Chain A
Amino acid sequence: MRRWLDDLPKYADDSSWWPTGTTRCRPEVFLLWLGLPLTIMAYFTVSALLVLVLGLNQTNMNDYFAFGVWIVVDLAVIALGAGAFFTSFLNYIVGKTELKPIVNAAVLIGFICYTGAILMLGIDIGQPLRGWFGFWHANVHSMLTEVMFCITTYAIVLCIEILPTVLDNRRIGKVPEFGTFSHNLHTIMIVFAAAGTFLSFFHQGSLGGMFGVLYARPFAFRGHLGIWPMTFFLFIMSAIAAGPSFTTMCVMITEKITGKRLTTHKVKMLMGKISGWLLLVYMVAKSADTLYWAHFNLPAAGVTFDSMFHQPYGIWLMWLELGVCGWLPALMLLTPRVRESYGLMFVAMLLTCIGVTLNRFIFTIQTLALPVLPFEKFYAYLPTWQEWGIASLVLGHGLLIFMLAYRYLPLFPQEPELNQQ
């Protein structure tokens, strides 16, 4: 027994699995770190069991708030995960190979976001066992049908896109079958990047359309050209503006925690610049859309702009979304001096991500909070602890996958070069 214990460090030594030319923390320290995502996953598991066994009455959703925090988190992570398809698109199709050092991480983050969203949606629907009805009995006129088809198909594409990175693990790649398969996948990756771009464009747009078509909900509804292409492109643009920011932020946080340089600052600056320009275009379009909505759509429904805002969902939310988390980060990211500074760029990217999350929150919660019947009451909504537990799934399984991937997979090709002793 003693001998076995003495030999334990030898058994636990996983350094031969680490990416070539890199060092990682000791196995026991890594195990300790794993405690964090596992704790979150345990919280999720308890909440999920309660909701699946006892039903959606475990939540604070009701017939007025048909959607709650889960849909907000779903929409937000799908927007933030857009970095995967857009970075792949720029790298493989446009030919911006400067982004190659970050594309693996972007795809992994996309994979985390989409799988998390799909798992949560499976719990969100009242009859999870009937989830396949949406495919089998598809109503092709529903935006939600398109979203279901596209996110499921795109999740499959993401699994394929992430596969070469897994197979490129130092030990796995030595197996001739895996190494050769991975090599061949790399050479054909442009096809998957194209399929991913196509699918993402559609479902990011449909998610916007999902609210734009609610013509009996004046807060969300946009008329004529306001629905197509406007709501579609607003959601696509906000997603591809926030996606690269979120990917870069995740890399920066990993750098701070591990104390290593993972990509050059030039790559991050390029991601920041892409985010900045897209956010600027988005903000121009979004501001125009908001003005048109306030001056034409709302009066047509017999309601005023002021009546759209009740505390706690006051007008401050709109200024926060469009001003502090919209125009401000757009202008910051377009300033070269901000991008050169590690800290300031991080702040700008964080604001961008908060902005897109707020946008999804406002479209989901505020749309439902506002009573349309003049004599209806106004309700506010706060999630229960079970709802938070399920919403934290993305964080828990995201951390778990990212930590394992960082330790064992060659996510960052520049890492060995940048950290030479």
Chain B
Amino acid sequence: MWRKDQVRYGMVIDVDKCTGCGACSVACMSENNVGVLHDETDKIKSITWLRVYQIDNGKPFPDTEVAFFPRPCMHCQGGESGTPGQGFFQEDTDPDAAHTPCVSVCPATATDYDDATGIVSQIPTRCIGCRYCVAACPYHARYFNWYDVPWPKGTPRALSPFVSPRMRGVVEKCTFCYPRLQQAKNKTFLDGSEVGEMDYQTACTEACPSGAITFGQLQDPGHKVHKLIKTDHAFRMLEKLGTNPKVYYTSKRKWVRMLADNHLSQAKAAKAAASGGH
């Protein structure tokens, strides 16, 4: 079923462990040279590759419960997928029948689905800034550079040399820290081994103090993520749309799982509540 040279990297985020501290976001910004703008309070024009959403169960005190959804790029594959818990991550066996929402729409081939890793790449120097991909992504994982980053004097020297900073007018997003995979491959090339689970970990995974983020190969039985996505509490965001994402979440709380997708019963209940509880 799987070609040996094809792997599928994915992430599992334990919502019940996430404290919403934001260390993952900070690590991500630092790793990937995401700049700080003059006005970072304008969240719909600023850039956060890994955004942490705060959600609650909508109930009044003292029944209020809060949870956090860290949201990187989902690295969607699209097409027919296996259900979470059914086994490992599956994708459509016909690559022509499946397409990532953002990759298929880009006119300039500035974003691509890598068949070897399942990672959705972004080539900022190729991007023309039409923002069609931003419109196509339901997770708001894609960010447009509305401003030039005002790097304070001296700070460019502290940037990571492995990730090129982006210019105004292009789209960027989480790449699962792809340069780290390249570095891992370089290392294994030299000592003749294969890229192991711990050779390639994203910055957010390493930074999470509560160990809520797990990263690895979804279809490799030796990796932790492979076991985690089989559990009963694993789910993905907006499962119904058929985006077939490679970022999974787990939570034992039902209301959290319910909030990850749109449900007709939920919508009807909200409507009934709005019209006076009929």
Contacts and interface: CB of A to CB of B under 8 A. Distances in A.
B207 interface: no
A62 B271 contact: no
Interface of B: 44-45, 53, 55, 69, 78, 99, 101, 104-110, 126-132, 134-140, 142-148, 167-171, 237-238, 240-243, 259-264, 266-268, 271
A217 B138 contact: yes
B128 A63 contact: no
A304 interface: yes
Given A300-B240, A302-B261, A133 B138 contact: no
A375 B53 CA distance: 8
A376 B35 CA distance: 24
Contact of B135 (A67, A125, A148, A376): A67
B10 to A, nearest CB: 18
Given A126-B145, A139-B106, A57 B138 contact: no
Closest 9 CB pairs between A and B? Answer: A126-B129, A126-B169, A302-B262, A372-B138, A66-B134, A66-B131, A216-B138, A62-B44, A144-B107
A77 interface: no
B138 A134 contact: no
B107 A55 contact: no
Given A63-B143, A127-B169, A215-B242, A304 B267 contact: yes
27 contacts: A55-B147, A61-B146, A64-B44, A126-B127, A126-B129, A127-B170, A130-B128, A142-B106, A142-B132, A143-B105, A144-B105, A144-B132, A214-B101, A215-B101, A216-B243, A217-B135, A217-B136, A218-B262, A300-B240, A301-B240, A303-B262, A303-B264, A368-B135, A373-B140, A373-B238, A374-B261, A379-B44
Contacts of B104: 139, 141-142, 213
Contacts, number: 169
Contacts of A218: 241, 262
A301 B241 CA distance: 6
A56 B169 contact: yes
Nearest to B69: A375
A196 B129 CA distance: 28
Contact of B237 (A124, A134, A306, A373): A373
B170 A307 contact: no
Contact of A125 (B109, B129, B260): B129
A218 B134 CA distance: 15
A376 B55 CA distance: 9
Interface string A364-377: 00011000111110
Interface in A118-160: 124-127, 130-131, 133-134, 137-139, 141-145, 148
A142 B103 CA distance: 9
Given A133-B126, A302-B264, A139 B44 contact: no
A306 B266 CA distance: 13
Given A126-B128, A126-B129, A57 B135 contact: no
Most-contacted residue by chain A among B99, B127, B128 (CB, 10 A) = B128
Contacts of B137: 216
A303 B28 CA distance: 33
A118 to B, nearest CB: 13
Given A57-B147, A302-B240, A303-B267, A367 B105 contact: no
Contact of B146 (A62, A213, A302): A62
Interface string A293-304: 000000111111
A63 B108 CA distance: 20
Contact of B108 (A62, A137, A299, A301): A137
Nearest to A304: B267
A126 B147 contact: no
A127 B135 contact: no
A141 B95 CA distance: 13
A66 B105 contact: no
A372 B238 contact: yes
B73 to A, nearest CB: 13
Interface string A349-379: 0000000000000000001100011111001
Contacts of A213: 104-105
Nearest to B270: A307
A66 B78 CA distance: 22
Given A127-B127, A133-B128, A372-B238, A56 B264 contact: no
Contacts of A373: 53, 138-140, 237-238
A67 B131 contact: yes
Contacts of A215: 78, 101, 241-243
A62 B101 contact: no
A374 B265 CA distance: 13
B108 A134 contact: yes
A216 B101 contact: yes
B144 A139 contact: no
Contacts of A217: 135-136, 138
Contacts of A137: 108-110, 126
A306 B271 contact: yes
Contacts of A125: 128-130, 169
Nearest to B74: A216
Interface in A48-69: 55-57, 61-64, 66-67
B241 A372 contact: yes
Contacts of A306: 267, 271
A100 B44 CA distance: 51
Nearest to A217: B138
A307 B267 contact: yes
A125 to B, nearest CB: 5
Given A300-B240, A373-B140, A374-B266, A133 B108 contact: yes
B241 A374 contact: no
Contact of B128 (A57, A67, A127): A127
A374 B268 CA distance: 13
A213 B147 CA distance: 30
